[in-house]
Amino acid sequence: MNRIKQLFQEKKNILSIYYTAGYPNTGDTLQIAEALEKSGADMLEIGFPYSDPVADGPVIQASSKQSLDQGMTLKLLFEQLRDLRKHVTIPVLLMGYVNPVLQFGVENFCEACAEVGVDGCIVPDLPMVEYEEFYQECFEKHNLSNVFLITPQTATERIHKIDGLTNGFIYLLSSSATTGKNLEVGDTTEAYFSRIKGLNLKNPTMIGFGISDKQTFDKACSYANGAIIGTAFVKAIADGNLEESVSNFMKKFKA
């Protein structure tokens, strides 16, 4: 069974952490993954950087630029992840924009993911119709979950379509803004989360964008199966000892 499906069957209030591959230093990718699992993360999303990260806020944009400037590529990332499964047992996804995937070759990308033990991908700008027509077969052949995103503006019909194409979890954006904004659950956001919960989707959901501390994490978990933290974690590892930075950050959520 895919590690993602197994996780959602066994656990509630899942904590997934996003970080940028090759940041703060090119060789840190696997070390951070190990430290996160050791500190209690349930799932990892490793971002492969791109030169035009339009949906990302300034913190993740800066981390992507630094990573690219230091020489990070998809080819190098897969080399770094070659021994991933010797050290990490929790589900791992790759997240990034479609352009680098197309340049790498979708078949090559899926094959490389399977070879290193990646469980799924989040490619926000990959159109659903293109995935269904051209790439779904390839993803499924390599046992990769493709994670779709839903925003407060997503129509119910499209949500059901996404649910039908999903074999992992659905990513609920807390807002249509860029990453890094704080989660504010006002009446509109609450109605959105409640609407999704009321649809009784067959797939689990994770809330992302704006989760930065225990309070916002717990709030998100009251509406979904868990939450994704990115910007706050990327900020936390910018300076200092990696092991210590990861451990101190994770303690906030495991108290």
pLDDT in tens, 102-147: 999 999 999 999 999 999 999 999 999 999 999 999 999 999 999 9
Task: Say which CATH superfamily domain 3-250 falls into.
Answer: Aldolase class I (3.20.20.70)
Give the model confidence (pLDDT) of 174-193 as tens digits: 875 444 445 555 556 788 98
> What letter does residue 27 receive in the DSSP assignment?
G
Q: At what angle do helices 214-221 and 242-254 cross, to 10 degrees?
A: 50
**Percentage with pLDDT > 70 across the chain:** 93
Give the model confidence (pLDDT) of 49-103 as tens digits: 988 766 678 899 999 999 999 999 999 999 999 999 999 999 999 999 999 999 9
Distance (Å, whole) CA 107 – CA 112 = 9
* Cβ neighbour number for residue 232 with a 10 Å cutoff: 20
Q: How far, rounded to the nearest angstrom, does the alpha carbon of residue 9 sit from its chain's CA centroid?
A: 19
DSSP 206: E
| Residue 191, pLDDT score | 87
User: Residue 246: pLDDT above 80?
Assistant: yes
| Amino acid 184: pLDDT | 54
Average pLDDT over every residue of 150-177: 91
Euclidean distance between the first and the last CA atom of the chain, given in angstroms as a whole number = 31
Contact in structure between 92 and 115 (CB atoms under 8 Å): no
The strand ranges marked E within the chain are 14-20, 43-47, 92-95, 120-122, 145-147, 149-150, 170-173, 205-208, 226-229
Q: What is the pLDDT of residue 178?
A: 45
| Among candidate residues 107, 105, 22, the one with its CA nearest the CA of residue 69 | 22
Q: Which residue has the tokens 């993740």?
A: 60
**DSSP for residue 26:** G
Report pLDDT for 240.
78
Contact 212, 183 (CB under 8 A): yes
pLDDT of 179 reads: 46
Residue ranges per structural domain of the chain? 3-250
Q: For residue 184, which of 151, 220, 150, 221 has the smallest C-alpha distance?
A: 220
- 124: number of Cβ within 10 Å: 16
φ, ψ at 203 (rounded to 5°)? -100, 150
Q: What is the mean pLDDT of residues 8-32?
A: 97
The per-residue pLDDT for 63 is 95
Tokens 């910018």, residue located: 238
Question: Which residues belong to the active site?
Answer: 45, 56
248 vs 255: CA distance, rounded Å = 11
